[in-house]
Chain A
Amino acid sequence: MIKVQNLVKTYGQIEAVRNISFEVQQGEIFAFLGPNGAGKTTTIKMLTTLLRPTSGTVEIDGLDAATNQNEVRKRFGIVFQDPSLDDELTAWENMDIHGALYGMPRKIRRERTEMLLKLFELSERRDHPVKQFSGGMRRRLEIARGLLHTPKILFLDEPTLGLDPQTRNQLWSHVQKLSQEERVTVFLTTHYMEEADRVAHRIAVIDHGTIVAQGTSAELKQQTSTETLEQAFLALTGSQIRDEGADSSNDMRNMAKMFRRPR
Chain B
Amino acid sequence: MLTIYILWLRQLKRFSRSRARIIASFGQPLLYLLGLGFGFGPIFEKAGQGNYIQFVAPGIIAMTVLFASIFSGIEIIFDRQFGFLKEMLVAPVPRLLIMVGRTLGGATVAMIQALMVTVVCVLAGFRPSVAALPVAFVFLALIAIVFTAMGTAIASVLSDFQGFQLVMNFLVMPIFFLSGALFPLNNLPKAMDIIARIDPLSYGVDGLRATLIGVSHFGVGTDLIVLTVLSVVFMAIGAKLFARIQI
Question: Which A positions have Cβ atoms within 8 angstroms of B?
Answer: 45, 48-52, 70-71, 73-74, 78, 80, 82-89, 93, 96-98, 100-103, 129, 145
User: How far apart sit A222 and B86, CA to CA, in the bound complex (Å)?
Assistant: 39
Q: Which residues of A contact B13 (CB under 8 A)?
A: 88-89, 93
User: A84 to B87, Cβ gap below 8 A?
Assistant: yes
User: B2 to A86, Cβ gap below 8 A?
Assistant: no
User: A103 to B2, Cβ gap below 8 A?
Assistant: yes
- 30 intermolecular pairs with C-beta atoms under 8 Å apart: A45-B247, A48-B90, A49-B90, A50-B247, A51-B247, A70-B94, A71-B92, A73-B90, A78-B90, A82-B83, A82-B86, A83-B82, A84-B84, A84-B87, A85-B82, A85-B83, A86-B10, A86-B14, A88-B14, A88-B18, A89-B13, A96-B6, A97-B6, A98-B87, A100-B2, A101-B87, A101-B93, A102-B92, A103-B92, A145-B87
SS class, residues of chain B in contact with chain A? helix
Interface size bucket, B side? Answer: 20 to 34
| B3 contacts A by Cβ under 8 Å | yes
Q: A86-B82, A97-B10 are in contact. Are A52 and B246 (CB under 8 A)?
A: yes
Q: A88-B17, A97-B10 are in contact. Are A73 and B92 (CB under 8 A)?
A: yes
Q: Which residue of chain A lies nearest to B6 when distances are taken between CB atoms in the complex? A: A100
| B89 contacts A by Cβ under 8 Å | yes
Cβ distance A110 to chain B, nearest Cβ, rounded Å = 14
Q: How many A-B residue pairs have CB under 8 A?
A: 73
User: How far apart sit A127 and B86, CA to CA, in the bound complex (Å)?
Assistant: 23
| B88 contacts A by Cβ under 8 Å | yes
**Residue of A45, A51, A87, A101 ringed by the most chain B CB atoms within 10 A:** A101
Interface string of B89-119 (1 = CB under 8 A from A): 1111110000000000000000000000000
User: A83 to B83, Cβ gap below 8 A?
Assistant: yes
Question: Which B positions have Cβ atoms within 8 angstroms of A?
Answer: 2-3, 5-7, 10, 13-14, 17-18, 82-84, 86-94, 246-247
Q: Which residue of chain A lies nearest to B17 when distances are taken between CB atoms in the complex? A: A88
User: How far apart sit A98 and B83, CA to CA, in the bound complex (Å)?
Assistant: 14
Cβ distance A90 to chain B, nearest Cβ, rounded Å = 9
User: How far apart sit A11 and B159, CA to CA, in the bound complex (Å)?
Assistant: 16
The 4 closest A-B pairs by CB, nearest first: A73-B92, A101-B91, A84-B83, A100-B6
User: How far apart sit A52 and B244, CA to CA, in the bound complex (Å)?
Assistant: 11
User: How far apart sit A35 and B51, CA to CA, in the bound complex (Å)?
Assistant: 70
Q: Which residues of B contact A83 (CB under 8 A)?
A: 82-83
Q: Which residues of A contact B2 (CB under 8 A)?
A: 100, 103
Q: Which residues of B contact A145 (CB under 8 A)?
A: 87
Cβ distance B160 to chain A, nearest Cβ, rounded Å = 15
Given A97-B10, A100-B3, 20 further pairs, Cβ under 8 A: A50-B86, A50-B247, A71-B92, A73-B91, A73-B92, A74-B92, A82-B86, A83-B82, A83-B83, A84-B83, A84-B84, A85-B82, A89-B10, A96-B6, A98-B91, A100-B2, A100-B6, A101-B6, A101-B91, A101-B92
Cβ distance A68 to chain B, nearest Cβ, rounded Å = 10
Cβ distance A31 to chain B, nearest Cβ, rounded Å = 21
User: How far apart sit A97 and B13, CA to CA, in the bound complex (Å)?
Assistant: 12
Cβ distance B18 to chain A, nearest Cβ, rounded Å = 7
User: How far apart sit A37 and B10, CA to CA, in the bound complex (Å)?
Assistant: 35
Q: Which residues of A contact B94 (CB under 8 A)?
A: 70
User: How far apart sit A84 and B93, CA to CA, in the bound complex (Å)?
Assistant: 17
**Residue of B10, B14, B87, B246 ringed by the most chain A CB atoms within 10 A:** B87
User: How far apart sit A215 and B87, CA to CA, in the bound complex (Å)?
Assistant: 32
